[in-house]
Amino acid sequence: MRWTIPNILTIIRLLAAPGVAIMFLYFTRPWADWFALILFVIAALTDWIDGYLARAWKQETKLGAMLDPIADKAMVVIALLVITGFSGMDPYILLPATVILFREVFVSGLREFLGDTAGTLKVTKLAKWKTTAQMVAIAVLFAKGVFEHYFGIIAFGLGDQMVTDILTGREEDLLGLNWKYQGAIISWWAGVVLLWIAAILTLVTGWDYFRKSLPFLREKP
């Protein structure tokens, strides 16, 4: 195995995946949201950096080719589990998350079954866009948690009527309640839309992989 910088970055990304969930075990919110968001964004950026460096420095290795998709899937799966849990199993999150998780398990099983012929299921450009959409959606949804928590902290000390008056403009917003509320709403819907786009791309790429594998799944006469 060659321990190149791209490979080391990939391993760091793989180790960062469970770190996203661990943030919520050892830190209180909103610090857990902040740390999870920062860790996820940095790890997601290494996905582009390690691939770019591997190609630019001609350091593409079997280890990197094996670990890179595993690290991506681990990041997405663990982050979706965390977000689904903190969303209260909201169907807007649960349904696309289920589609994404099902596809990842299905394609991974398909690759394992095909063994040496799995090379026919090469990563396509659309699959890369799928991964990008997933990671952006997850980052936005983590940001929603930050906005939501700060809004909740301030709103808790004001009372329901005062919060309503501030949001409707009847009272002056001295604590920035309105922009925190708008940030939570915008990041929520932006994250949901991006996650559904990612789920659709996930289905399309999953079907493409399955279609390409059909010749190897047919029984010999």
Q: What is the pLDDT of residue 95?
A: 94
d(CA 43, CA 15): 9
Residue with tokens 């808790």: 156
Residue 116's pLDDT band (cuts 50, 70, 90): low
**Digit-coded pLDDT (tens) for 6-57:** 888 888 888 888 988 898 888 887 888 898 899 989 988 887 887 777 777 7
Say what the pTM is: 0.84
DSSP line for 73-140:
HHHHHHHHHHHHHHTTS-HHHHHHHHHHHHHHHHHHHHHHHHGGGGGGSPPPHHHHHHHHHHHHHHHH
Domain spans, the chain? 5-214
**Digit-coded pLDDT (tens) for 71-95:** 888 889 999 999 998 888 899 999 9
User: In the CATH hierarchy, which fold is given to the domain comprising 5-214?
Assistant: Four Helix Bundle (Hemerythrin (Met), subunit A) (1.20.120)
Phi, psi of 4 (to 5 degrees): -85, 165
**Digit-coded pLDDT (tens) for 142-172:** 998 888 888 888 887 777 788 787 788 788 8
Q: Which amino acid is at 55?
A: R
